[in-house]
Amino acid sequence: MADYSEFPTTPTAWQEQQLKDWQTVTPLETSDPEPTRRRADLGALVPGLFFVVLAITLMAGAQLPLEMWEDGGFVWILLIGGGIALLVAELKKTRRRRG
């Protein structure tokens, strides 16, 4: 049935309030928090970069002195350095968790 009234109907107070409630947008409480920025794992990055540089150097045909490879001396230096790097990384993680 058609509305033949001369003037449009005026919304009531509760209709106006409902319209305002629908127009305001509030963020949901279940929204994901901002992701924390991750730092590079130096315990893996430093040995990885060293390996890449060493591999490229050896593939290029460079002659390295053999004294540093005798009796596993170079390997021991790498193991001790890697262990110290991992220890320092774990200590930093523990301090960040406490603070």
**pLDDT tens for each residue of the chain, 99 residues long:** 566 667 677 778 888 888 777 777 776 677 677 778 877 777 777 777 888 887 888 788 887 777 766 777 777 777 777 778 878 888 888 777 776
In a domain, 77, yes or no: yes
Q: Which residues contact 43 (CB under 8 A, 6 or more apart)?
A: 82, 85, 86, 89
Q: Which residues contact 85 (CB under 8 A, 6 or more apart)?
A: 42, 43, 46, 47
In a domain, 35, yes or no: no
In a domain, 20, yes or no: no
Torsion of CA 58, 62, 49, 46, to 10 degrees: 110
Structurally, the chain folds into a number of domains equal to: 1
In a domain, 92, yes or no: yes
In a domain, 45, yes or no: no
Q: Which domain holds residue 96?
A: 69-99
**What is the rounded CA–CA span in Å between residue 44 and residue 47?**
6
